[in-house]
Chains A and B, each alone.
Chain A
Amino acid sequence: NAGVMQNPRHLVRRRGQEARLRCSPMKGHSHVYWYRQLPEEGLKFMVYLQKENIIDESGMPKERFSAEFPKEGPSILRIQQVVRGDSAAYFCASSPQNSGTADTQYFGPGTRLTVL
């Protein structure tokens, strides 16, 4: 009974490099959400995706950040030309098919990104 999986768990990048974070939702879940957590702060919504569709990206910076959830494979959060301010824990969550009510989201273990 695998939960939400994320990899890598820790990622170190130098300024200007690209960071690629992966998330595999729970079995049977088709909705993925990405959140960012800065040290000692709460979780901030970034983007909500369904298979092959971005539903809501209102929390994602317009530049350097992109997300996808292809028909096959994990969801990917990509950060180009990373800066020190991107250092944070990035959590992915998944939920089953939404049926007209807000569903419980189950979180992965997070990817801790450190930008040197």
Chain B
Amino acid sequence: GENVEQHPSTLSVQEGDSAVIKCTYSDSASNYFPWYKQELGKRPQLIIDIRSNVGEKKDQRIAVTLNKTAKHFSLHITETQPEDSAVYFCAASNTGTYKYIFGTGTRLKVLA
């Protein structure tokens, strides 16, 4: 069935360093890939998304890349700050089903 794998499960970086989180999806029909940030006890909040017709998208310190052939996509956070500490989830969706298949999450800790 549909599956999204996410790595690593935990990631610690020093403030100012970059963080990279990777996801792999199984459904080749997937064409929309959002990333959500979830702080403890809060709702998931969309931070960036990418559609299958582009290979890369950037928004200030956050970027997402997509490799459709390999069926994987990655989140890149540069110049990390303590407030970036949270759990990050990737997801995959397609036009036919609309539902999101989420990865298992990455707990990012930015050390001051």
Q: A107-B45, A109-B43 are in contact. Are A45 and B95 (CB under 8 A)?
A: no
Q: Is B22 an interface residue (CB 8 A)?
A: no
Interface centre among B31, B43, B49, B93 (most CB of A within 10 A): B43
CB distance from B2 to the nearest CB of A (A): 9
Q: A48-B99, A100-B95, A102-B93 are in contact. Are A43 and B31 (CB under 8 A)?
A: no
Chain A residue at smallest Cβ distance from B99: A45
CB distance from B101 to the nearest CB of A (A): 7
How many Å lie between the Cα of A34 and that of B74 in the bound state?
Answer: 26
Interface residue ranges of A90-116 to B (CB < 8 Å): 91, 93, 95, 98, 100-110
Contact A102 B46 (CB under 8 A): no
Interface size on A, residues (CB 8 A): 27
Contact A98 B98 (CB under 8 A): yes
How many Å lie between the Cα of A102 and that of B52 in the bound state?
Answer: 11
Contact A33 B44 (CB under 8 A): no
Residues on the A chain within 8 Å of B100, using CB:
33, 35, 43, 45, 93, 105
Contact A33 B99 (CB under 8 A): yes
Interface residue ranges of B58-112 to A (CB < 8 Å): 89, 93-95, 97-105
Contact B42 A42 (CB under 8 A): no
Using CB atoms and an 8 Å cutoff, list the residues of chain A in contact with chain B.
31, 33, 35, 41-45, 48, 55-56, 59, 91, 93, 95, 98, 100-110
Apart from A42-B102, A105-B34, what 18 extra A-B contacts exist at CB < 8 Å? Answer: A33-B99, A33-B100, A35-B102, A41-B105, A42-B104, A45-B99, A56-B97, A56-B98, A56-B99, A59-B99, A91-B44, A98-B98, A101-B95, A102-B93, A103-B98, A107-B43, A107-B44, A109-B42
